Every structure is written in C-alpha cells, then in structure tokens.
Structure 1
Amino acid sequence: MADPITNADVWLVVPVFNEGQVIRGVAAKARETFPNIVCVDDGSSDNSAEEIRAAGVHLVRHPVNLGQGAAIQTGVEYARKQPGARFFVTFDADGQHQVDDVSAMVARLRTEPVDIIVGTRFAEGRSESVPVLRRMALRTIVFLSPRTRRLGLSDAHNGLRVFNKKVADDLDLLMSGMSHASEFIALIDHHKWRVAEQPVTILYTEYSRAKGQSLINGVNIVADGLFHTRMRK
C-alpha cells in the first residue's frame, strides 16, 4: 500500500481546453502535493499542450474538442490503468480548485466508508464568495433535480470530486459536454456508490469568472442531464 504522505496512489485528472495562460502554474502547484497528474488536452487551439509538458505532468490529447465529460472519461481511463492507482480526483484547469481541499477529501476517503466525495460551495457560509448569478444557477440546478436532493447533495455541479477505484472502474460518462455533471449524479445513484460532501473553497478570478455559466445555461445543462440519464434509472 502506498504511503499516504506521498500521495503516490492518487491521480489528479485535469480536463484542459485552451488554458495555456494558466495550466502550467496550476499543474505545477498541484504536483507539489500530488505527483501523479494527467492533463487531457481536449483539442485546444492554443499552447495548452506545450504548457502541460513544461509542468512535467502526464499529457493525453484529443485531436478535436469533445467536451469536458469526454476529457474526464479519457483521463480516468488513463489513470485507472496506472500501477498502484487507488484514488482519483477531477480537478479544474483554471485555478479555481484548491490543493488543500483535495488533501482533506483524500484523507477522508482513506478513512471513511464512502466511495466518492463531492465538493460543495454551500456550507459554512462559503456561498458568499460565489458570484450571485452563478449561485442562482447552481441553486436552480439542485431544485430541478430530485435525484440530487435525494442523495443529499447541495452542489451537484462542483467539478471537484474525489473517488476510489471502485468508482473509477465503473465510470462510464456518455455525455461529452458540461452536462456530464448531471450524469455523474445519475451514476452515483445508479451504482449506489456511497457519497458524501466536503465544504470547499472555489477561487473566482477574473480569468475564471469570464468562463462561467449563466443561469439559462445552467438550467439547460440540468435539463439535458435529466433527459439523457433516464436510461440509468
């Protein structure tokens, strides 16, 4: 069994699309704590691939843009084949996610009887840092998803997730775009994975805010997810 201090049994999966401005710094900082990182360059038209290589992490490339869901699936499939891989993390490329939060979530997964831990922005007063429009969109998504409420989740579209190999081996995301978040929830319900939430801090910079989802886009995402995941009931 790998030494928990080295995190040699943890793999970060980072979907990347035109993040050349920030990805080297994000990956390099995460690598200080988690040595195993695979970035999936999802058909970027900028210098993302070169910056990923410069960060010294694993690189997998899609020849064309397939969407975040497909990039996560590719990254998990790559990571789960690596010797000693036990824990897996979906981690954003734009610098919003915090390595300290990942460490806390991995520590819980090592000791608690859960299969997957999902980050939440809506705990301990942390929602105040979430832009108002995005907060409305996220709350609307939860309101429209009975499955999410049944599982006791408050932030289903949080991209920071930590899960064990049982989840990784069974993960089969079919929705290539942003609607994969709704599908992730459907898979948790379908496979009866034991799920918990973890309060996390999302760092909203001018760079990341410019890429955010509007309220209408958020509603469209969950509607698409509810429609396409009926097959998993």
Structure 2
Amino acid sequence: MQNDDVWLVVPLYNEATVIAEVVQQARATFPHVVCVDDGSRDGSAEAAERAGAAVVRHPVNLGQGAALQTGFDYALSDPAMRYVVTYDADGQHQVRDVEVMVERIRHGDVQVVFGSRFLDERTEASTMKRLVLRAAVAYTNLTTGTRLTDAHNGLRVLHRDVVERLDITQNRMAHASEIVAQIGAMRFDGAKVAYAEEPVHILYTDYSKAKGQSLWNAVNILAELIWR
C-alpha cells in the first residue's frame, strides 16, 4: 500500500467541527492517522474515529507537546513505520505539502524535513505575526545551533530513527523549539542529523482565526521561549 510506512500524528483538542474533514482528506493519501485527543470536551475523538483515524485519549488536557509525544509512542509501536508527520487538526496544513516533504525525506540524504511558511508567498500572514514568528525563529536558531526560517511550523516529517530519540518535555507551545534543539543536538554515527526545509502553505481560515491562532499563538511562542 502506498505510504504504508508513514504515520500522521495529529494533536487534537476541541476540533469536532473540522477534524473529520481533516482526517478524511489526509487518509486519502496517507492511510495511517493517529489523533491524540488531549482532553477534548466536544466530541472530537468520536468524530476522528468515525473518519477512520486511530485515537489515543488523554483524560485531561496536557498540551500539544505531550500529545505529540504520545502520538510518537503510538506510531513507534508499528514496526513498519519509517516516517512520522506532525500534522495540525484545524485544517491549516495541506496534504499536498506533506506529499512533497515525504518524497524529499525518501531520498535518504536527510532525516528531518521542516515545513516553512516563509520560503514562498502562499501563506497570508499579517505583518505583526511574521515579525513575532521571525523573532522566535531567531531566538531558536541562536540557542539550538540550527539554521531554519520557520522553526515553529507544526508540519514536519521525521525519520523513525529521530522519533525514537525525541523526548518532549515542554508540553505547551515551547515544545517546537525543544524538538528543534533535540534534533540539533542529535548525532548518528558521529555526524549531526541532516535536515532540510520545504515551502508549505499554512491556510489561516476564518475558523482558525476565530480560535485566536492568527497572532496570539505566535506571541505565546515568543513569551514561552523567553520564560524558558
């Protein structure tokens, strides 16, 4: 089966109105999707299951970092899994971008592919959001020894060897920088983990903006980085 070695890991929290469509669209290309329901109160888990996703539940809300770690552990239980994709539940990510990123990592010369909304002009983000995110990227690059253009993009493709070594402890928004830091510090056979970026389209819908994700997520990321 095509892409049978890929698992999409989807942190899920109160997205009942959109998660079924997100899962259905993803599974048309990537059959293995696990949604980690992080204490939702709106029927998100049931909607994801009806759409064909595997669902793992947190009884209380622990945060996106914790949800990703749970999803990684679930995906690792499949011995056929070679790649994990981290994928948002709110419809902002595009399946076509995932296809391109998976194709990139299959070449075998990198172990991680990060999505970047700043490598082309498809993503329509406000000037303030871009400034805040670029400040967060500059901080992350400075403190992790990596060189990325969009360190806090939730769309990533990770080789199994990398997933096995990740140990996310930052449960809230700062988990993205922690992932980058751990990858930046990893070595395989004495060599640093190779990574690449691919341009992706983050679709800021009326739905995601209504949830406060147009700007405040970026501000929260920067605040958590400074606090950490």
Q: Choose the corresponding residue for 2:162, options 159, 167, 173.
A: 167
Q: CA deviation at 1:151?
A: 1.8
Distance 2:85 2:183 in 1: 15
Greater shift, 63-72 or 134-143, is seen at 134-143
Report the counterpart of residue 186 of structure 1 in structure 2: 181
Q: Choose the corresponding residue for 1:123, options 115, 119, 123.
A: 119
Report the counterpart of residue 16 of structure 2 in structure 1: 20
Contact 1:38/1:60 (8 A) holds in 2? yes
Q: Choose the corresponding residue for 1:65, options 56, 61, 67.
A: 61
Contact 1:13/1:90 (8 A) holds in 2? yes
Return structure 1 stretches of 4+ with deviation > 4 angstroms.
none
* Pairs aligned (count): 220
Are 1:195 and 2:191 matched, yes or no?
A: no
- The sequence identity of aligned pairs, in percent, is 49
Report the counterpart of residue 189 of structure 2 in structure 1: none
TM-score of the superposed pair, with normalisation by structure 1: 0.90
Partner of 2:17, secondary structure, is coil
Greater shift, 207-216 or 179-188, is seen at 207-216
Report the counterpart of residue 81 of structure 1 in structure 2: 77
* Paired AA for residue 72 in structure 2: V
Q: CA deviation at 1:145?
A: 2.9
Distance 1:113 1:86 in 2: 14
Report the counterpart of residue 230 of structure 1 in structure 2: none
Q: Choose the corresponding residue for 1:141, options 136, 139, 142.
A: 136
RMSD of Structure 2 on Structure 1 (CA) = 1.5
Q: CA deviation at 1:149?
A: 7.9
Distance 1:50 1:150 in 2: 41
Contact 2:65/2:173 (8 A) holds in 1? yes
Q: CA deviation at 1:148?
A: 6.6
Distance 2:68 2:209 in 1: 21
